[in-house]
Amino acid sequence: MFRLAIVALLAVGIAGAAPSEQDLLRAIAAHPGDPGPHTEYAIHLQSRGRAVEAVAHFRTAYDLAPGAPAAVYNLALGLLAAERPVDALALLDKHPASRPDEHALRGSVLNALGRPRDAAQSLRRAVALDPNDADTVYDLALTLLRIDSGTEALALLDKARARFPGAAKIHAASGAAAYAAGKNDAAVRAYETAVKLEPGAADFHLSLGDVYVATGDFARAESAYARSLRLEPEAAPAWVKRGKNLLKLQRPQEARQAFERALRIEPANAEALFETGKLEAAGGDHAAAIAHWERAVRAAPGMKEAWYQLSIAYRRSGDDEKSKAAAERYRTAK
């Protein structure tokens, strides 16, 4: 439901106004053996989305000070930002963590590698060393939910809400934990608090919409989804959620428009294709429905519901061979 928070770059920065890129390059030229200017330039590059270039300068700073904790941390974080978590983990393994921020970074790297159980161990250690870091508590809570440790997550977040009453993400994580535990009313309260504290967070509004749907409050869900999309209008999955909710509100034409918007953003969005196919079938255009469902299973071969609908649609169109093949895919899809 949430993306894990990426730890902020360790700022080894210059006081006062930010220097220009030319100033930073001149500092490197003047002091080529000093890791500081390379680090400052790497942070400048990272802040502008130039992750690959940033890694090169973090690497130079590390080579100039190979055992310095800041150099290790910054290079590992740069590698993670450049989508090189394998290399980041190799570096962290070479320099075992001791500080809480190092354990937290290791947790983020392990999550990026799809190893949430190992990530939870690192994040638990980070929280034990520094329980006053709301970002790490948040990361740990979401990781615990990923490994079905909801009870531990709820206990962690109960304490965190008292410690960080103004931290929107802690309330949002509490909402996620309550939702996972089937405590939808508590989830609504937590997400409502989160969006009050941070009204510009599109993902919080989106999650609030989800829990409104779970409680059957489709009108309030529509408002939450609409707010999320005003903040982040190019989020195709959010348009799909809004479209499905609009169907529950008996507003099929608006739902179709939502699915079409999702497909303009992400043409291979399987859910949007599937839902559009259902609308085509309901309107009697079975050829168009089949075309959408065929695109859906090409995008998501394991989409059982699309294979099921295709098996029925093929049979109705008189193509028994395709119907049988689709029915078999429905039975075996995972």
Q: ∠ CA(117), CA(119), CA(124), 5° rounding?
A: 100
Mean pLDDT lowest among 5-9, 173-177, 268-272:
5-9
Quick check: is 256 in a domain?
no
Position 165 in a domain: no
| Distance (Å, whole) CA 65 – CA 269 | 47
314 Cβ contact partners less than 8 Å away, ≥ 6 residues apart: 290, 320, 322, 323, 326
Centre a 10 Å sphere on the Cβ of residue 138 and count the other Cβ atoms it contains. Answer: 26
Query: How many angstroms separate the CA atoms of 71 and 98, rounded?
Result: 14
pLDDT in tens, 42-51: 999 999 999 9
The dihedral built from the CA positions of residue 116, 268, 233 and 241, taken in this order, carries a sign that is negative
For position 16, what pLDDT does the model report? 52
In whole angstroms, what is the distance from residue 17 CA to residue 116 CA?
39
Number of H helices, E strands in the chain: 19, 0
pTM: 0.82
Do the domain assignments include residue 21?
yes
Asked if the structure places residue 3 within a domain, the reply is yes
CB atoms within 10 A of CB 50: 15
Give residue 69's domain range.
1-130
Domain-embedded: residue 47 = yes
Confidence band of 1 (pLDDT split at 50, 70, 90):
very low
Percent of the chain scored above 70 by pLDDT?
Answer: 95
Count of structural domains within the chain: 1
CATH number at residue 101: 1.25.40.10
For residue 125, tell me if it sits in a domain. yes
| 109 three-state secondary structure | helix
Reply yes or no on whether the pLDDT at 11 is more than 80. no
Tell me if 68 is assigned to some domain: yes
- Mean of per-residue pLDDT scores for the chain: 93
Question: Is 160 inside a domain boundary?
Answer: no
281-328 pLDDT, tens per residue?
Answer: 999 999 999 999 999 999 999 999 999 999 999 999 999 999 999 999
